[in-house]
Structure 1
Amino acid sequence: MKFRNKLTVLICTSVVLLASACESFLDVNENPNNPEDAPVSGLLTNSTLETARNVYRAGSATSNYVQYLASPNPGSSSDTMDPVDFSSTWFNLYNVMTDLTVIIDKSTESGANHYLGVAQILMALNLGMTVDFFGDIPYSEGFDFETVTPAYDDDEELYGRVLSLLDQGIANLQLETTMSIGDDDFIFQGDIAQWEKFAYSLKARYLIHTQSYSEALTALTNGFVSNSDDAKVFFFEQAFNPWAQVAINNANLLLGGWISEQFIQAMDGTSYPTFDPRLPLMVGTTSTGEFVGTVNGAGRGNAPEQGARSTLIPGQYYTSTTSPILISTYAELKFIEAEAALPTDRNRAYAAYLAGIEAHMDMLSYDEEEDQAAYEAAKAAYLADPSVAVGAAALTLDLIMKEKYVALFLHPETWNDARRFDYAYKDMSLPENLNPDLNGEFIRRLAYPNSEVSRNGNNVPQVSLLDRIWWDQ
């Protein structure tokens, strides 16, 4: 494919740009971004690639909280919801937003409206992820390099900025442009119509956080219409999918990617009546061919050998070296539609719920024709099972959220769902050895990173891990 052939060259370009990127929005003695010289095309290459990696980084930070993953070590901070220093995640989010600020400024000056629109959409996404994790953050003073102690902006006001950026991005994509986007865009390779669908799909995501159901339904009518629309970045052998690295590391006894008992039991017929045929395509079995999860907070327990628990394994849909990082998907959008329509139009909600399940099932496949035929039969049986095909009248938010939980495997949006849903997934329990400061409750936000506290401590809000983001009240 032409795009794949160019990808290596573009990755090299992005590495050079990343090396010159600003270490932090706070480091202002000199500005290594050098916006006078950095072309918007190269900055977009880096921004699209690093946005996908930020989705991975965010998913890696939260997958233990929603019990996709569990640590093999008892009492691990990632499981027990202790304060964890996410300075690198904070840095990477701000690093991308710094480059996007340069693109926005340069594109505005030059009339490159398509670059401007795409940068605004990506800014909305990275800003939204940061607010969803930390609440109040620096933004209005975060990128002008005039202060090393930027003020913090209110999280609710920043959500208005996220939605405004998406609207501005959509509007700018519809204008004439002095520069056309091409293969420097890792997500859609310059397809402006796809960027518009992506922006509307993101609008629906952020609107569902605030239970703005009518507005979310309006937005999603202009969003993705099939799996082929998904916003994703493909990787390749020389710079491969980071979840593949987790699986490879685990296979080499650098332990990571152990699957939570909660996730296994949500799919293996324990928590729900029927076995989900997607499970073998998403995680590995034990050495005896079984699916056995690890209890969050408890570690490996009395089965210390590696093959005694299910883990991420190399070569599956989420863990192949060339697998994509999924940023936003049609399946997610259908579950947003199901949730938003449920109070007023149960038939629409039910149709969207089934479409979301099928869309995710269609992402997964076997290489061997015989195995794929068996999977197709199992897929049809699952969709027809009475516990899944419950009918419009019996559809519940619990079922919608359960299926969305499966379809967004390893994605950070699930932590937003879990908090909105008050962690009410069936059989989800608090981890063992829970952080005592949580008083028997689930974590609600990330702690501000140590790097920010040390450099901007007078402005950092005083919060606990139980203090809720504005939309989680």
Structure 2
Amino acid sequence: MKSIYNRIFGLLLLLGASSCEDFLDVNENPNNPQDAPITGLMTNATYETALNVQRIGSITSNYVQYLASPNPASASDVMEPLNYSGTWFNLYNVMTDLTDLISKAEESDAGHYLGAGQILMALNLGMTVDIFGDVPYSEGFDFSAVTPAYDDDEQLYAEVLSLLDQGIQNLAGTTAISIGDDDFIFQGDVDSWIKFGNMLKARFMLHTPDASANELLSAIDNGFEGNEDDAYVEFFEQRFNPWAQVAINNENLLLGGWISTQFIEALDGTSYPAVDPRLPLMIGTTDDGEFIGVPNGAGRGNAPEQGARSTLIPGQYYTSELSPLLIATFAEQKFIEAEAALNSDPNRAYAAYLAGIEAHMDMLEVPEGEKEAYLSDPGVSMGAGSLTLDDIMKEKWVALFLHPETWNDARRFDYGYKDMTLPANLNTDLNNQFIRRLPYPDNEVSRNGQNVPEVSLLDRIWWDE
């Protein structure tokens, strides 16, 4: 597998240097190719989509208290507005490439490329709406529209679900051109793309207040069947997993990846009775061999030296140089199933809840005895009749470590995780409440200000109202 990535890495570098300009920049760059091949667009779109998941996760991991800043009152910790122009650009850059890919696929009767492109467009558009709300889409990729209009976030969610349905249908049909090694996620495996589309349909339907539980569970029935179906991008010698780079940087005193006290205490027996064997497989100890976190907003206090607090460290599942960057997993899908079935079918919900825990533990290669001991703990194995939404959300929060989907869960759950408290030195504009959205980026406000909605960090995305 790695040899495939090395062979096409040169193509990726070319695309990275020459990919489409920001959708608001209509001036042609004579040094950029104006007609990228469909295979190159697929390579760039699959790779950059995984990076977009990580880029958003690096923002939201402080909000859901996976990570904490070692410095007191750091803006990321205390939920102050920051400029996310880079995140905006990266999302729109991928969606611009996907617009071209979809158009070329339609022209070439390449039904499988078309379906995969529609699924990737749904994912990137959905992630954009989830963090910003109303965004340009109908005019977002019309290069004659220098100041594109903003579309309603609820209507855009309908487009996300429609794109997923269309993508699944096109992948199940015929194609004049087959996807191959240019696909960094599934290497052209069409059945895997169909499962992925159904899994994403369940994820986005879960956000939708009036979604049909039966339809959601039907999507799950056609989704992932095990960890082997997970959607991810693998890395290679020329480019490390971004979380590995955070861990390496931290070792070199470029501080990042410090672990929140809340996360450690949720797994070390403080907030919950069961000690979770996944903790030492996800984060590092202090120099003294202890797990000690940083309170969000308060900083590292009287421990200024490196090694006195837990951080991400190189070489673990999430932080090895060649670790996969997870987009969607079977473990996540099982927790979606548990939540969706909780009221109508408690036995199905309970089985899915336990399967989600086991899937994540298998991913981390938790020793069998430790896995069985955790799953049999009365605080974890409470029985179908006693399973609550709190139980499901807590275990999903652990299993989706560093993933941005957890911020969607946190807002839907009204940040109701046990012992999750507001950070110290909270942004006073939040009025002692948790953040609900990202601000629109400075570049967009300056160039398209007449269309940018006026919002505060407390204004909610449509599904969170």
Q: Determine if the TM-score, normalized by the shorter chain, exceeds 0.5.
A: yes
What displacement does 1:37 show?
A: 2.9
1:324-350 deviation digits (Å, cap 9, x = unpaired): 000000000000000000011100000
Counterpart position of 2:125: 127
- Residue matched to 2:352: 352
Q: 189, 193, 196: which one pairs with 1:195?
A: 193
Which residue of structure 1 lines up, in the alignment, with residue 104 of structure 2?
106
Aligned match of 2:402 in 410, 414, 417? 410
Q: Give the conservation status (yes or no) of the 8 Å contact 2:18–2:33.
A: no
Question: Residues 297 and 431 of structure 1 are in contact (CA less than 8 Å); yes or no, is this contact kept in structure 2?
Answer: yes
* Aligned counterparts of 2:59 and 2:206: Cα–Cα separation in 1: 22
2:456 maps to which residue?
Answer: 464
Deviation at 1:21, TM superposition (A): 1.5
Q: Which amino acid aligns with 1:256?
A: G
Which stretch shows the higher mean deviation, 278-287 or 19-28?
Answer: 19-28
Letter in 2 for 1:384: S
Partner SS state of residue 76, structure 2: helix
Using the alignment, how far apart are the partners of 2:21 and 2:71 within structure 1?
Answer: 33
CA-CA distance at 1:238 after TM superposition? 1.5
Q: What pairs up with 1:24-39 in 2 under 5 angstroms?
A: 24-30=22-28, 37-39=35-37
* Aligned position for 1:369: none
Cα drift, residue 18 of structure 1: 2.2
**3-state SS, counterpart of residue 77 of structure 1:** coil
CA distance in 1, matches of 2:30, 2:153: 29
Kindly tell me: are residues 244 and 202 of structure 1, through their superposed partners in 2, closer, same or farther at Cα, counting changes over 3 Å?
same
The aligned residue for residue 172 of structure 1 is 170
Q: 2:388 aligns with which of 396, 401, 417?
A: 396
Query: What letter is aligned with 1:461?
Result: P
Deviations 1:109-165 (A, max 9, x none): 110111111000000000000000000000000001011100000000000000000
CA distance in 2, matches of 1:80, 1:406: 22
Name the SS for the 2:344 alignment partner.
coil
**Cα distance in 1 between the residues matched to 2:387 and 2:445:** 46
- Contact in 2 for aligned 1:357/1:407 (Cα 8 Å): yes
Alignment of 1:226 with 2:215, yes or no, is no
Task: Name the structure 2 match of 1:323.
Answer: 323
Q: Secondary structure at the match of 2:307?
A: helix
Q: Percent identity?
A: 72
- For 2:214 and 2:412, locate their aligned partners in 1 and report how far apart those are by CA, in whole Å: 18
Partner Cα distance (2:49, 2:167) in 1 = 16
Q: Provide the rounded CA distance (Å) in 2 between the counterparts of 1:354 and 1:259.
A: 26
- Give SS of 2:63's match: coil
Deviation at 1:215, TM superposition (A): 2.1
Q: Which residue of 2 aligns with 1:163?
A: 161
Match of 1:246 in 2: 246
Task: Report what 1:259 is aligned to.
Answer: 259
Mapped to 2, the partners of 1:50 and 1:10 lie a distance apart of 14
| CA deviation map 1:154-181 (0-9, x unaligned) | 0000000000000110111122111111
In structure 2, the gaps of 5 or more residues are none
Q: Deviations over 1:306-333 (max 9, x none)?
A: 1110000000000000000000000000
The residue aligned with 2:273 is: 273
Contact persistence 1:267–1:279 (CA under 8 A):
yes
TM superposition shift of 1:14: 1.5
Matches within 5 A, 1:308-387: 308-365=308-365, 375-387=367-379
Q: Which residue of 2 aligns with 1:235?
A: 235
In structure 2, relative to structure 1, the CA distance for the partners of 1:32 and 1:267 (3 Å cut) is farther
- Structure 1 SS opposite 2:327: strand
Alpha-carbon contact 2:63-2:407 (below 8 Å) kept: yes
1:368 is aligned to none
Cα distance in 1, alignment partners of residues 108 and 5 from structure 2:
26
For 2:260 and 2:87, how far apart are their aligned partners in 1? 23
Question: Where does 1:26-105 land on structure 2 (aligned, <5 Å)?
Answer: 26-30=24-28, 37-105=35-103
Structure 1 gap segments, 5+ residues each? 366-371
Q: Which runs of 4+ in 1 moved over 4 A?
A: 31-36
Deviation string 1:376-426 (CA, Å, 9 cap, x unpaired) is: 211110000000000000000000000000000000000000000000000
C-alpha contact 2:202 2:216 (8 A) present in aligned 1: yes
Query: Aligned with 1:80: secondary structure?
Result: coil
**Residue type matched to 2:300 in 1?**
R
TM-score normalised according to structure 2 size: 0.98
> Which whole-Å CA distance do the structure 1 matches of 2:190 and 2:347 have between them?
32
**Aligned-partner SS, 1:386:** coil
How big is the shift at 1:35? Answer: 7.6
TM-score (norm 1): 0.96
Letter in 1 for 2:317: Y
Distance 1:122-1:35 versus aligned 2 partners, 3 A rule: farther
- Over 3 Å counting, the alpha-carbon distance change for 1:167 and 1:215 in structure 2 is same
Residues 201/31 of structure 1: CA separation in 2 closer, same or farther (3 Å cut): farther
Q: Distance in 2 between matches of 1:378 and 1:147?
A: 58
Deviation of 1:261 after TM superposition, in Å, equals 0.4
SS in 2 for 1:363: helix
CA distance in structure 2 between the partners assigned to 1:36 and 1:117 by the alignment = 23
Is residue 450 from structure 1 mapped to residue 442 from structure 2 by the alignment? yes
